[in-house]
Amino acid sequence: MSNTPHLKPLRTLCSSCSLRELCLPVGLNRDEVEQLDAVIRQSRVVKRGEYLYRSGEEFKSLYAIRTGFLKACVSSQDGREQVTGFYMSGDLVGLDGISSNHHGCDAIALEDSEVCELPFARLEEIGRVIPSLQTHFYRLMSREIVRDQGVMLLLGNMKAEERLAAFLLNISQRLYSRGFAANDFVLRMTREEIGSYLGLKLETVSRTLSKFQNDGWIEVNHKHIKLLKPKELKELVSGCAHQI
């Protein structure tokens, strides 16, 4: 069997991971971090288009995204796909499976990605020893509830332009919090996937992006987006962008 590096990726411990503060609680002492390192399994590569997990699969683990971008989606009975979320480095996915012990959606890589697997049963055990870790996961679950509420507000009360502006600002803010450029980025999802998430038709997404560009608010080059006037985008959504 080949021992090439891409087949046996080196494990990066939480203690040395640059994303530690995003997906795990700040303030763990050295012994606590070492206990957590012992729980996390070797990082796993998910190629573009591959499933991290599928709807209906037994829930066993949460996954911290080290690199890459994933989408969560559900399929209707007639086969249509509804995108329910986009996740990037530092995000934790798999929380949907906790309540029923089965995943309620598909998680699919939008680009080659790498995740750290956190077996949930082991996390529960270590959470009893490290209370701050347990509290952190409660906060993560609460954040998902708030995000879902924000999406409902977005779909129920906002016009197409407001929805897309809020979406772009949300991506910008999340990238900024990870140390990336806030106003110059590449969208990893298609316009059709954006439309599915925002409850808009593909044509509406494309037309609205073109309008933003004609107004001088953004610059669009395929999936490459530059926010030229983020202040105008923020004014358009009237403070709702932080909620999605």
Burial (Cβ within 10 Å: 0-12, 13-18, ≥19) of residue 36: buried
Residue 105 and residue 102: Cα distance in Å, rounded? 9
Partners of 88 in the beta sheet?
A: 69
- Per-residue pLDDT tens over the stretch 97-124: 998 999 999 999 999 999 988 899 888 8
Q: What is the predicted pLDDT for the residue at 26? A: 63
Residue 225 and residue 123: Cα distance in Å, rounded? 38
**Does residue 40 register a pLDDT over 90?**
no
- Per-residue pLDDT tens over the stretch 180-237: 999 999 999 999 999 999 999 999 999 999 999 999 999 999 999 999 999 999 999 8
Whether the CB-CB separation of 109 and 69 falls below 8 Å is answered with: yes
In terms of pLDDT, which residue wins out, 236 or 138?
Answer: 236
Residue 120 and residue 55: Cα distance in Å, rounded? 18
- Domain coordinates of the chain in residue numbers? 14-132, 158-243
**Does residue 178 register a pLDDT over 80?**
yes
Q: How many CB atoms within 10 Å of residue 121?
A: 9
- Virtual CA dihedral for 162, 163, 165, 170, nearest 10 degrees? 140
Phi, psi at residue 69, to the nearest 5°? Answer: -150, 130
Residue 81 and residue 93: Cα distance in Å, rounded? 19
Partners of 185 in the beta sheet?
A: 225
pTM equals 0.84
Superfamily for domain range 14-132:
Jelly Rolls (2.60.120.10)
Task: Given CATH 1.10.10.10, say whether it is the number of domain 158-243.
Answer: yes
